[in-house]
Structure 1
Amino acid sequence: MRLVLLGPPGSGKGTQGARISARHGIPSISTGRLFDRQIAAGTPLGRRAERYVRAGELVPDEIVLDIVADRLESGVDCAVGFLFDGFPRTYPQAEALDRMLVATRGPLDAVVDLDVDVDEVLDRIRRRSRTEDRVDDAEDTARRRLKVFEQETAPLRRYYQRGGLLRTVDGSGSPDEVAARIEEMLADVAHPGLRAHPGLPVCR
């Protein structure tokens, strides 16, 4: 199964991505972790990305796509599928990813969009920050990140909706409840013969 996981900060994307990865036996691929590994290893791709990462700037699409392509080509674990967490982030990245996959692994099966109400996201952030002194600062930062996310993701949602890939899942409630909704949706889009990874518990 080849998937993309979308969701705003605080939506539980990391938790659900790990569950999908374990249940379906596919790697969860985060561009942030890919940058860290390439930089730590001192690879040519890592050196290209490092100056942007160190400066806190967005890594150009060309470099992001080269690092993603390297991961797909060199990762034998991607043969049965993968889950992109937080990628693509822009419309051009989505178009380039589609071209890349058609030429290599095959097209995406679905784009899982975790829909969580802004108030619930902020409430989760407040609970996480309750032991800290700067709760208001954390909430202000979260509001800015949510605004940026919506600006970036709205074109992606339209793009994948036109392609018939977008699957919006209610991300409210407990992690188990959200996982059950995701698995129910994935059961409808899974290819024949591609079922849950054997020996792993059903998330219901």
Structure 2
Amino acid sequence: MDATSFPHVIPPEMPQYGQANHIFQLMQGWVLDGLPESREQVLMMQTLGLAPRHVIVLNAPDMVLIERNLGKRIDPQTGEIYHTTFDWPPEPETQNRLVIPEGISELETARKLLEYHRNVIRILPSYPGILKAISADQPCVDIFYQALTYVQTHHRSNAPFTPRVLLCGPLGSGKSLQAALLAQKYGLVNVCCGQLLKEAVADKSKHGEVIRPFFEKHMAVPDSIIMKILTQRLDRQDSVQRGWVLHGFPRDLDQAQMLDSLGYSPNRVFFLNVPLDSVMERLTLRRTDPVTGERYHLMHKPPPTLEIQERLLQNPRDSEERVKLKMDLFYRNAAELEQFYGQAVTVNGDQDPYTVFEYIESGIINPLPKKVP
């Protein structure tokens, strides 16, 4: 198969298949094996924009899987894995030095399977429309060709039109997560304005070199430069064909008018409304471990030990003063933006992310509003 057309695949396999937790980068595609293992990891991946095009789950009866696991053997010299039934080495020397790996007893395998079953029922609903279940209780070559056939298919969008979605909301309102969810379900291009600017700087592009001094001095990038970067992304073929979800821009009326005048008008606009107290709780309690890089939240994800807690650091942008300043700036411009986008929908963003997504999704799949003459 041509690597340039290789799709994004996540196989949420059962624990005893021996998968490695890594991503195989294949030019314009990747195969992720071993993640996600929980709904929390699903949310984290979606927040980071990791949205697969195809998801394959390999199923087999527990007794079959336990039997397979019990037959595993490892060569301590080479690290090669063999099986007493399916893949036994022909050399007597190799046979004699094989050992039973740890953690494959019937009891331990059954415990891992129980944990897998508890988690997988919360993972699979996160990938509606792109999920394929394949029986793993058949020859490997048959499994491979079924998987290959599936990943070579192209899913049609569930949207009744080409969505051009704009998400507005204050810092910490969940725009990034909702954009990732929309991009995943409807195949939209996730366009984060701030991320585009960072990528331009990192790539050392012509525009990136212009942006760099503003970043270094912590100054706002001029609208004219932002529009050049943004329109380049919105003009790309995938954005035109599949549609897009934009967040992080526009932030005020002037930017909205500029976007509209250049022909990039959204056909769905959502304002995520989150109270100041909730935003303060979400952002000002975030901490980072400078040793491991692990991120914590003092309320929702506290550090496991006192030692870790004592060394946690707060990003200056999460300080109470900075957050209040940005919230005030957003709400000063929000009224004009809401008036400019007269058909915008206001959504309560202070609730479970999937509940918020359901409200947004209902606005995506409903027919376009009819213009009143």
How far apart are 1:77 and its partner, in Å? 1.4
Structure 1 residue aligned with 2:224: 62
Superposed CA deviations along residues 17-46 of structure 1, whole A, max 9, x for unmatched, are 110111111111112111122222222211
2:33 aligned residue: none
Greater Cα offset, 178-187 or 116-125: 116-125
1:148-204 C-alpha deviation (Å, 9 max, x unpaired): 22123332122112xx3x11111121111111111122222469xxxxxxxxxxxxx
Alignment of 1:176 with 2:176, yes or no, is no
Structure 1 runs of 4+ off > 6 angstroms?
none
- Higher helix proportion (structure 1 or 2): 1
Q: Structure 1 stretch 140-149 or stretch 22-31: which is displaced more? A: 140-149
1:78 corresponds to which of 239, 249, 255:
239
- Per-residue CA deviation, residues 65-90 of structure 1 (Å, 9 max, x unaligned), is 111111122x2210221111111112
**Closer/same/farther in 2, CA of residues 185 and 40 from structure 1, 3 Å limit:** same
Q: Name 1:90's counterpart in structure 2.
A: 252
Question: How many correspondences in the alignment?
Answer: 183
Identity %: 29
Deviations 1:82-121 (A, max 9, x none): 111111112121111112226xxxx421111101122222
8 Å Cα contact 1:10-1:121 kept in structure 2: yes
Provide, for residues 132-155 of structure 1, a one-character-per-residue CA deviation record: whole Å limited to 9, x for no partner. 5669x7233221221122123332
Structure 1 residues 1-204: aligned runs within 5 Å: 1-73=163-235, 75-79=236-240, 80-101=242-263, 107-129=265-287, 130=298, 132=312, 138-161=319-342, 164=343, 166-189=344-367
Question: What letter matches 1:121 in structure 2?
Answer: V
Looking at CA atoms only, which structure, 1 or 2, has the larger radius of gyration?
A: 2
| Partner Cα separation in structure 2 for residue 4 and residue 119 of structure 1 | 24
Q: Distance in 1 between matches of 2:220 and 2:189?
A: 24
Equivalent-residue separation in structure 2 for 1:23 and 1:8 (angstroms): 24
For structure 1, list consecutive stretches of 5 or more residues without a partner in the other structure: 192-204
Counterpart code for 2:238: D
1:112 partner letter: F
Gaps of 5+ in 2: 1-162, 288-297, 299-308
Calculate the TM-score normalised by the size of structure 1. 0.80
Greater RCO structure (CA 8 Å; 6+ sep): 1
Q: Answer yes or no: is the 8 Å Cα contact 1:109–1:189 preserved in 2.
A: no
Which has the larger strand fraction?
2
Task: Determine the C-alpha separation between the residues in 2 that align with 1:148 and 1:23.
Answer: 32
Which residue matches 1:194?
none
Separation in 2, partners of 1:112, 1:189: 15
Match of residue 200 from structure 1: none
* 1:72 aligned partner, one-letter code: L
- Aligned residue identity for 1:173: Q
The aligned amino acid for 1:78 is S
Partners of 1:21 and 1:58 lie apart in 2 by 28
Task: Say if 1:126 and 1:51 are closer, same or farther in 2 by CA, change over 3 A.
Answer: closer
The amino acid across from 2:258 in the alignment is: A
Answer yes or no: is the 8 Å Cα contact 1:110–1:189 preserved in 2. no
Other structure's SS at 1:3 match: strand
**Does structure 2 conserve the Cα–Cα contact (< 8 Å) formed by 1:91 and 1:155?**
yes
